[in-house]
Amino acid sequence: MQRSILILGGTAEARALAGKLAGDPRFTVELSLAGRTRAPAEQPVPVRVGGFGGAGGLAAYLRQKDVSILIDATHPYAAQISRNAAKAAEVSGIPLVALRRSPWLRQPGDRWIEVESVADAVNALGKAPRKAFLTLGRQELLPFEAAPQYAYLVRSVDPVEPPLAVPNAVYLTARGPFEQADEARLLRDHGIEAIVAKNSGGPASYGKIAAARDLGIDVILIRRPDLPDVPSVETVQEMLAWLDHAPVPLK
């Protein structure tokens, strides 16, 4: 009999894992997306979109769908979803494992300023006008309106609508991965003096970090939030190995 897996996704790793499991006769797989991205990438398994109504709603969904294993492959900064997943797994008694990519580590030559929040990142830019490259979600950009003296280059998956109420901003819509050489060219072409980013980890968006190191550009990194202490792996291959030995009876 097949085991049912629900993947809480929204990351490249979630999509890659779903692709690996799509043809595995041992499992039926559903991928859940929060729905914040207007045009999500095509997925290799059935997809549900939208929230569950908190931890209780997720626990009820797990029971309703007779889910065998819950996989939290959400973004490292999606802390509330991860907390809901941990609580739902506890309430329902369904095994949970998280797929959490490791954060980037400081390398010689990195000019990092690490802060706790987007508001702290605005303050870390300083008072003097600078050209700043913002690589945050479009829903997290509003605090930068408090610092209209900067010239902003904003890159997001979806268009920023409405645009920021600042006098000087350029918008790019793009989905990674981004190569280091392309990122270096972008930084030079726009005269960027500082980058504001999350420590997302993984290779897809590391190009800007490596390019900033080579060009001597400041990087203001927002630290990762605290996440629930649950069983976790760092890579898709490790997750596949975990599933091969998952302590879950066949249904």
Binned at pLDDT 50, 70 and 90, residue 34 comes out as confident
CATH number of the domain where residue 84 is located: 3.40.50.720
* Residue of higher predicted confidence among 248 and 14: 14
* pLDDT for 38: 59
Taking residues 118-138, report their average pLDDT. 94
How many helices, marked H, and strands, marked E, lie in the chain? 7, 12
**pLDDT, the chain, mean:** 92
Q: Which span out of 173-182, 209-218, 237-246 was modeled with the highest average pLDDT?
A: 209-218
Quote the DSSP letter at residue 108.
T
* pLDDT for 249: 38
- Total-model pTM: 0.86
Q: Does residue 8 form part of some domain?
A: yes
Long-range contacts of 186-192 (CB under 8 A, 24+ apart): 186/133, 186/153, 187/133, 187/211, 187/212, 187/215, 187/217, 188/215, 190/131, 190/133, 190/153, 191/131, 192/131, 192/132, 192/133, 192/153, 192/217
* pLDDT for 87: 97
Q: Does residue 129 form part of some domain?
A: yes
Cβ atoms of 32 and 42 closer than 8 Å: no
β-partners of residue 115 are: 222
State yes or no: pLDDT of 248 exceeds 50.
no
Q: Does residue 163 form part of some domain?
A: yes
Quote the DSSP letter at residue 102.
P
Q: Does residue 250 form part of some domain?
A: no
CATH number of the domain where residue 186 is located: 3.40.50.1980
Cβ atoms of 71 and 166 closer than 8 Å: no
Same structural domain, 172 and 238:
no
* pLDDT for 92: 94
**Cα distances (Å, whole numbers) of residue 89 to 71, 116, 138, 201, 239:** 10, 28, 30, 26, 18
State yes or no: pLDDT of 246 exceeds 70.
no
Taking residues 148-166, report their average pLDDT. 94
Taking residues 11-20, report their average pLDDT. 92
How many CA atoms within 13 Å lie on the side-chain side of 191? 7
**Number of domains composing the chain:** 2
Same structural domain, 26 and 79:
yes
Q: Which two tokens stand for residue 15?
A: 């999509």
* pLDDT for 152: 98
Write out the residue range of the structural domain in which residue 144 sits. Answer: 112-222
Q: Does residue 148 form part of some domain?
A: yes
Same structural domain, 124 and 214:
yes
Binned at pLDDT 50, 70 and 90, residue 137 comes out as confident
Q: Over the stretch 72-107, which tens digit does the pLDDT of each residue have?
A: 999 999 999 999 999 999 999 999 999 999 999 999
Same structural domain, 218 and 230:
no
Q: What percent of the chain has pLDDT over 70?
A: 95
Q: Does residue 107 form part of some domain?
A: no
How large is the angle between the packed helices 12-21 and 236-244, nearest 10 degrees?
A: 40
* pLDDT for 10: 86
